[in-house]
Amino acid sequence: MSQTSPTPPTLAFIGLGALGTPMAANLLQAGHPLLVHNRTPSAAEPLLSAGARWAASPAQAAATADCLCLCLSDDAAVQAVLEDAIAGLQPGSLVIDFSTISPATSRAMATALGQSGVAYIDAPVTGGTEGARAGTLSVLVGADVADLERALPVLQVVGEQISHLGPVGAGQQAKAVNQVLVAGSYAAAAEAVALAQRLELPMDALLAALRPGAAGSWALSHRADGMVQGHYPLGFKLALHRKDLAIAQRAAAAVDLDLPITNQVASMEDGLIHRGHGERDVSVLAEWFRG
């Protein structure tokens, strides 16, 4: 007698931006019944065509979901969505927050939801739109162990590496560290490209020579060619990265640590955002050197 596979948990996904849409698509393709909601409804159309169902509000999305997934832009967006969703969330359900927000907000949301019997984990991701589409993101998790176990079937669809780094809030702290590294590596790649171009070196040959060596980095491998050409395919918006650096700066200030490289890159990003580059990829840092 054949055994039937258990029905995957019903998921709701709110926040269908550059990362959220491909993450939700992978969950749908993996067989999860999926409800979606987004501030701009048109963003949901590809998912609805693939079999997802539309929810008119966060509360409606949460009402029939075993697990509510969020991938939102900032603290205010997460707070607003969960204030609405809490009316629909059932005791025993789980919230997985893929957003990048402050650790304090994550802890506050976990406390508020816990009073209604709802579990919350913070699970910010890194890997850009490429990783989101491929399902190879690195997921940085802050959670109780039991809640992480419940979340794993979802996390393993969107991510290739799932790292449990401590209680709620630890995932956000780790993401702040990640964004400090991103700041330095992207800025270094942009600066190196600018110097090489001023020296009139053969850029294709130079980058091919540098990538396998000690100077190699994800930014050098995946974004330096675009920096040379002045072409910045969107992986992660500059304005969002600047928001993340502010979280890192506040975290460092709280433990009396100066971040001189991060502070310099943040200042560069402020200038580029002022010039209208905020919606472009972080690799637009190359434009800082072009005046």
The residues, any chain, with a CB within 8 Å of residue 16's CB and separated by 6 or more, are: 24, 36, 38, 40, 43, 44, 47, 71
Q: Is 258 exposed, middle or buried (0-12, 13-18, 19+ CB in 10 A)?
A: exposed
Total domain count, the chain = 2
In terms of residue numbers, what domain contains 94? 11-167
* Residue where a domain terminates, one of 167, 195, 225: 167
Is the confidence at residue 94, as pLDDT, over 90?
A: yes
d(CA 142, CA 102): 12
pLDDT by residue (tens digit) across 32-90?
999 999 999 999 999 999 999 999 999 999 999 999 999 999 999 999 999 999 999 99
Assess whether 175 carries a catalytic annotation: yes
Task: Decide if 182 contacts 125 (C-beta within 8 A).
Answer: no
For residues 72 and 78, is the Cβ–Cβ distance under 8 A?
Answer: yes
Q: State which of 135, 167, 199 marks the end of a domain.
A: 167
Q: 37 and 135, same structural domain?
A: yes
Residue 4 covered by a domain: no
CA gap 192, 175 in Å, rounded: 25
Q: Which pLDDT tens digit goes with each residue over 17-39?
A: 999 999 999 999 999 999 999 99
Q: Which class for 54: exposed (0-12), middle (13-18), buried (19 or more C-beta within 10 A)?
A: middle
Q: What angle do CA 42, 47, 53 make, to 5 degrees?
A: 90
Look at residues 167, 195, 212 and tell me which one is the last residue of a structural domain: 167
pLDDT tier, 199 (very low <50, low <70, confident <90, very high otherwise): very high
**DSSP 8-state secondary structure symbol assigned to residue 8:** P
Query: How many angstroms separate the CA atoms of 253 and 55, rounded?
Result: 40
CA-wise closest residue to 68 among 76, 59, 79, 77: 59
Q: Is residue 9 over pLDDT 90?
A: no
| Residue 1 pLDDT class (50, 70, 90 cuts) | very low
Name the active-site residue from 37, 107, 164, 175: 175
Which residue, chain included where needed, has tokens 């330095």?
184
Supply the CATH number for residue 39's domain: 3.40.50.720
